[in-house]
Amino acid sequence: MKRKILHFFLFIFLGCVSFSLKGQQPPVKMNVLPEGYYRATVEGKDTLAVIRLRSLYVFPKPRFRNKREAARYWKLVRDVKKTLPYAKMVYDTLIETYEYIETMPDEADRQAHLKRMEKELFAEYKPQLKKLTFSQGKLLIKLIDRECNQSSYQLVKAFLGPFRAGFWNLFAGMFGASLKMEYDPQGKDKQIEQIVLLVESGAL
């Protein structure tokens, strides 16, 4: 059972990478200037540096009715901090893979590269993903959806096909999850979104 859970998370990761190879454009990534360089604008005879300041988020201080509720909140904070880097790594890998695949001459070379990448990903991330709990795995599914702007079901379907995507969705349902469930930052996932924003800004 533990092995199936591990493969489940890895397939989601690989599916996200593979999705960009199915004729889909990856999410747009802002160009990053080299260290020490800044954007500038010219106003009259003056050249002004344009510096983008880090966003500051202020939310009401969380209030808890009891110790159990407080413990649940801080557990969620710990889980976000543990799984968010994986979700962002999926996004970065998708971008990098798409750009690299575009330089390959034919489909055969692309598929060969994808197979090599699959082996490398399993070898590199298997020890880390084995340590995830079920709740952290479910959270990872949501955060991948947040970062890639695609449901996990779509990503797995692109990599494994509709039949096996349906199987993994049923398997996820055994643990109260659904690959078709979309991330809802303004609704049921509002607390997760607030925690993510605070973590990303370095305030938590």
Nearest to 169 by CA among 184, 152, 188: 152
Tens-binned pLDDT, residue by residue, of the chain (204 aa): 445 555 555 555 555 554 444 444 444 444 556 666 767 888 888 888 887 777 788 888 889 999 999 999 999 999 999 999 988 887 777 677 767 777 777 878 877 877 777 677 777 777 777 777 878 888 888 888 888 777 777 766 766 667 777 777 776 676 666 777 788 999 999 999 999 999 998 888
List the alpha helices (DSSP H) in the chain. 2-19, 67-101, 107-129, 134-148, 152-160, 162-173, 190-200
Beta bridge partners of 16: none
Q: pTM, whole model, 2 decimals?
A: 0.71
CB 190 within 8 A of CB 140: no
**Measuring CA to CA, which residue among 32, 34, 27 is closest to residue 87?**
27
